[in-house]
Amino acid sequence: MILGLGAVLAAALALTTADAPPRVAVTGGTIEGSAAPGGGALIFRGIPYAAPPTGNFRWRPPRAVVAWKGVRPDNPQAPACPQNDQGWNHADFANASEDCLTLDIRTSGLTGKRPVMVWIHGGSNFSGSGRGTVQSRITDTGVVLVAIQYRLGLLGFLAHRGAAAEAGGHAGNYGLMDQIAALRWIQANIARFGGDPANVTIFGESAGAQDVSLLLAAPPARGLFAKAIMESGTPGFGMPPRPLANALELGDQAQKLLGARSIGEMRKRPLAELLAVDLKLVDPSLLTNDFRWLRTAIDGAVIPKPPRELLAEAPPRPVIIGSNRAEFGPRPGEVDWDRQLGAIFGPNAAKAREFYRQDDPRMGHPELQFWTDWVFRCPAGRVADLLSGRGAPVWRYEWDMTEDGSRTGHSAEIGWVMNARSFGNGASLQTYWTNFAKTGDPNGNLPRWVPYTARGRGHVLFDPRGVTPQTALRDPVCSMLEEL
């Protein structure tokens, strides 16, 4: 009888322990997680990796986490970083705060030594968030998933003379500094979530992919990750880098528009005023002002030289890089061909115009293909050439598939990465990505994906037929472009 009662008590204690929310001690204090919907994983959301960059700490490098008392609960409503409402990002706009330097984690357990995949969200570096990323069941494949937040727009990327004077001459790229701070936090803490700090893969799409490429280049990020995946994004998206002198001119514009006399005054202005000014900043060198925070700024610290030079000096690391068959661009008839082709192709403008007249209509109208080439495909090829020439293992792809069978577009591949879906001849984009995160080679038992070389320039096409090896991508037109 006594033995029976003891067994019942032991069983009750085990059940209570199993049902208790998981708690983990991290830098700054203790956090609490929750069971992921559907089971099989734990999620921890809204974990601070740096102090709030508010008030006098605007336009400064991120600071160490401020310690808290008690247990910090899982927070599915942790705010996005401040941003203007673009429509598609309305939920992030409505739930935003400058106290936003947090990350989310999804793991199948708190023990083990699993590969870590760190998602850097897109949004032109002025909108979006990583919220909801940890709903992905990608962790079922045996990886730990992390999604990070970083400062956006003028709060994240503006260079100001006053900030430069405070920091020894460099300014801007605070959003990149945030990403580096998050990677340092991951190095210090991810083992407590069953992750391997020596096997971290950073991956992102659009501006997130651009930031991944800049982390490959940035000297302060070395040693913080082992591999990288770039989905539709490269340093500057084919635009020449912005020298610090030009970056500081944007800071001058912002100060003038605010009617402020110093960086100190700007730090005291209401957030709404800063967001309104962000929409008015103009870089006259750009074809569209939507790219104002995508043109890579040479800040003197995180990006001390042009990305091409930094990538040529960086240690070789395995990389996946690619783009979609049709990304985004003007509608038919909206391109001023003489102005845009002249600005992008220079003396080769006439040849380029003839190329787009003869282009394959199945790939979209000429305006769409022109923008897809100069913003995405051709820069991806340049980066693949540079990295493979340095001895880095590189795999290049083109994605041409949507869920409903329509023509592909920008970000169409994300759902296939975050969800376990197969296509064509049994391929799975998620499995290629997680194989790469585990071993540095995407193949495993999937249809063979041959590495890219600067000499052969081979890539694979992912489409409803499956995985098809292809030769040089868009070589006639991309050979006329030089920028990364």
pLDDT, tens digit, 9 for 90 and up, residues 244-283: 999 999 999 999 999 999 999 999 999 999 999 999 999 9
Asked if pLDDT for residue 424 goes beyond 90, the answer is no
Do the strands 144-148 and 227-231 form a parallel or antiparallel pair, or are they unpaired? unpaired
Residue 182: name the closest of 383, 346, 17, 26 by CA.
26
**Which residue do the tokens 């069971």 mark?**
35
Rounded-to-5 percentages of helix, strand, coil across the chain = 40, 15, 45
Whole-model pTM: value is 0.95
Other beta carbons within 10 angstroms of residue 287's beta carbon come to 17
pLDDT-derived band at 18 (thresholds 50, 70, 90) equals: low
Asked if pLDDT for residue 76 goes beyond 80, the answer is yes
More confident residue, 424 or 430: 430
Beta bridge partners of 391: none
Predicted local distance difference test score (pLDDT) of residue 426: 86
Q: At what angle do helices 207-217 and 174-189 cross, to 10 degrees?
A: 70
CA atoms of 79 and 483, how far apart (whole Å): 36
Q: Which of 14-28, 209-223, 301-315, 366-380 has the lowest mean pLDDT?
A: 14-28
pLDDT, tens digit, 9 for 90 and up, residues 174-192: 999 999 999 999 999 999 9
DSSP track, 89-138? THHHHHTB-S---EEEEEES-SSS-EEEEEEE--STTTS---TTGGG-GG
User: How much of the chain exceeds pLDDT 90, in percent?
Assistant: 85
Predicted local distance difference test score (pLDDT) of residue 14: 36
pLDDT-derived band at 1 (thresholds 50, 70, 90) equals: very low
Region 113-140 average pLDDT? 98
**Which residue do the tokens 């605007």 mark?**
58
Region 107-118 average pLDDT? 98
Q: Are 452 and 411 in contact (CB under 8 A)?
A: no
Predicted local distance difference test score (pLDDT) of residue 74: 98
Q: Are 26 and 192 in contact (CB under 8 A)?
A: yes
More confident residue, 10 or 441: 441
pLDDT, tens digit, 9 for 90 and up, residues 165-178: 999 999 999 999 99
The number of residues in the chain equals 484
pLDDT-derived band at 8 (thresholds 50, 70, 90) equals: very low
Asked if pLDDT for residue 285 goes beyond 70, the answer is yes
Asked if pLDDT for residue 6 goes beyond 50, the answer is no
Predicted local distance difference test score (pLDDT) of residue 338: 87
- For 75-86, b/e burial (b = at least 16 CB within 10 A) is eeebbbbbbeee
Region 287-316 average pLDDT? 96
Q: Which two tokens stand for residue 114?
A: 């699993």
pLDDT-derived band at 57 (thresholds 50, 70, 90) equals: very high
Predicted local distance difference test score (pLDDT) of residue 407: 84
Asked if pLDDT for residue 13 goes beyond 60, the answer is no
Asked if pLDDT for residue 11 goes beyond 70, the answer is no
Largest CA distance in the chain: 94
Region 451-476 average pLDDT? 93
Residue 129: name the closest of 155, 100, 92, 157 by CA.
92
Mean pLDDT of the chain: 93
Asked if pLDDT for residue 2 goes beyond 70, the answer is no
More confident residue, 296 or 403: 296
Q: Are 255 and 266 in contact (CB under 8 A)?
A: yes
**Which residue do the tokens 């001895």 mark?**
391
Predicted local distance difference test score (pLDDT) of residue 10: 40
Residue 323: name the closest of 368, 292, 388 by CA.
368
Domains of the chain: 1-315 (3.40.50.1820), 317-484 (no CATH)
CA atoms of 31 and 48, how far apart (whole Å): 10
DSSP track, 320-345? EEEEESS---PPTT---HHHHHHHHH
Region 5-24 average pLDDT? 55
CA atoms of 101 and 119, how far apart (whole Å): 14
